[in-house]
Amino acid sequence: MSGFRDPLRIETPTPGAATRLVIRQPDDWHVHLRDGDMLRAVVNETARQFARAIVMPNLVPPVTTVAAAEAYRSRIQAALAPGLAFTPLMTAYLTDTIDPCEIERGFETGVFTAAKMYPAHATTNSAQGVTDIQRIYHVLEVMQRIGMPLLLHGEVADHRVDVFDREAVFIERVLAKLLAAFPALRVVLEHITTEAAVAFVETAGPNLGATITPHHLVINRNAMFEGGIRPHMYCLPVAKRERHRLALRRAATSGNPKFFLGTDSAPHVVGEKESDCGCAGIFNAPVALETYAAVFDEEGALEKLEAFAAEHGPRFYGLSLNTGSIVLERTPRRVSPTMVVANTRMIPFQANASLAWTFRGRSSGAC
């Protein structure tokens, strides 16, 4: 097909053959790679698709120092399959008492790419998160000065607020004030789930961007209760009503550079999900690009996938675009029902489903 500049190509090699999409290699701007056995089980799912990923710091204990981030980065690199080129971009976990000098030193030395703010008790491993954003205003001052992005888990942790309203209330109570106080701070509202978030990001200045997950483009809140309770569809922010899912699909496929790919792939072993108090998190890494491709295809916007997946994110972060390409093919693929980790299992997003698109790997570069 003509009319697209390199490297994006949508092609049907011979009549009747499956359509192939060749795009610049994407990055994942939000992922949980965990540690130990889990890290080894999941990291190559991310690394085979993405050139770089913003790695979340919510380990136990959280990544709050430059030394901890460097050690974690080494463990990630050691877990990569031989020959797989992948760059983990490390983040700092903000606490009420984090040392701003440590944040600045980590950013200036290239160890920290960004810092993540979890409101305390908002989600998995957030107990040491920030209890009141004003307590870290002096840290945000430094981040604004040095150009370091702030990544937000955008939900209030106030249990009086309905769980489905916590993102919208965060925008009102926290985000609007934060942007007014730090007009030059680069901020990413992570894994947005609501019409309110889409509208807020669209109207804010260019220093506010947002990531959108594959699962929030595919499921609405009914998916958690389909014929019974479905713990593998539970994540935070929780999936919302259908109209919100549709707003996210419009935003992702709009071509607006403020919206970019962030999977929020968040693996937990089966016992932690299928439990009296199951963990939040959807493990979507094995199907990430294929899921996004299907969504863009369904929306008639395949030509917008490359920018969402491989251009908007690096431009927001001020990083170079990747030069390699990957290939996706419109061929059905069955997702495995389960994945082994140590002596237990995980259930991936879309387990057992038939996907319309198949990821074919990195392109040889021959055009």
Task: Write out the residues near Zn ion by the rule CB under 5 A.
Answer: 264
Sheet bearing 325-329, strands edge to edge: 9-11, 20-24, 325-329, 358-362
How far, in Å, are 28, 72, 134, 160, 164 from residue 213 at the CA level?
10, 24, 28, 27, 17
Q: How many residues bind ligand DOR (CB under 6 A)?
A: 12
Question: Residue 308 or residue 349: which is nearer to ligand DOR going by CB?
Answer: 349
From the list Zn ion, ligand DOR, none, partner contacted by residue 23 (C-beta under 5 to 8 A by kind): none
Question: Under rule CB under 6 A, which residues in 142-201 are in contact with ligand DOR?
Answer: 153
User: Which one among 95, 123, 194, 265 touches ligand DOR, defined by CB under 6 A?
Assistant: 123
Strand spans (E) along 25-164:
28-31, 52-55, 87-93, 112-117, 150-152
Residue 264 falls in the annotated catalytic set = yes
User: Which one among 59, 114, 174, 266 touches ligand DOR, defined by CB under 6 A?
Assistant: 266
Cα–Cα distance, 179 to 182 (Å, whole number): 5
Is residue 273 a contact residue for ligand DOR (CB under 6 A)?
A: no
Cα–Cα distance, 279 to 273 (Å, whole number): 5
How near is the Cβ of 216 to Zn ion at its closest, in Å? 12
From the list ligand DOR, Zn ion, none, partner contacted by residue 218 (C-beta under 5 to 8 A by kind): none
Question: Under rule CB under 6 A, which residues in 276-295 are in contact with ligand DOR?
Answer: 279-281
From the list Zn ion, ligand DOR, none, partner contacted by residue 58 (C-beta under 5 to 8 A by kind): ligand DOR
Asked whether 325 and 22 are in contact (CB, 8 A), the reply is yes
How near is the Cβ of 278 to ligand DOR at its closest, in Å? 11
How near is the Cβ of 289 to Zn ion at its closest, in Å? 18
Q: Which of 14, 1, 17 is nearest to 329 (CA)?
A: 17
Q: Output Rg (C-alpha) for the chain, integer angstroms.
A: 19
How near is the Cβ of 123 to Zn ion at its closest, in Å? 7
Give 284's contacts (C-beta < 8 A, 6+ positions apart): 213, 214, 215, 263, 264, 265, 291, 348, 349, 350
Strand spans (E) along the chain:
9-11, 20-24, 28-31, 52-55, 87-93, 112-117, 150-152, 187-189, 208-212, 259-261, 325-329, 333-334, 339-341, 344-346, 354-355, 358-362
How near is the Cβ of 352 to ligand DOR at its closest, in Å? 21
Pairing of strands 354-355, 333-334: antiparallel
From the list ligand DOR, Zn ion, none, partner contacted by residue 280 (C-beta under 5 to 8 A by kind): ligand DOR
Cα–Cα distance, 54 to 153 (Å, whole number): 14
Structure tokens at 205: 């200045």
Question: Under rule CB under 6 A, which residues in 294-333 are in contact with ligand DOR?
Answer: none
How near is the Cβ of 256 to ligand DOR at its closest, in Å? 24
Q: Given the residues 37, 162, 264, 276, select the one marked as catalytic.
A: 264
Question: Residue 56 or residue 66: which is nearer to Zn ion going by CB?
Answer: 56
Question: Residue 32 or residue 312: which is nearer to Zn ion going by CB?
Answer: 32
Question: Residue 120 or residue 301: which is nearer to Zn ion going by CB?
Answer: 120
Q: In 10 A of CB 344, how many CB atoms?
A: 14
From the list Zn ion, ligand DOR, none, partner contacted by residue 306 (C-beta under 5 to 8 A by kind): none
Residues making contact with ligand DOR (CB under 6 A): 32, 58, 123-125, 153, 235-236, 266, 279-281
Active site residue ranges = 264
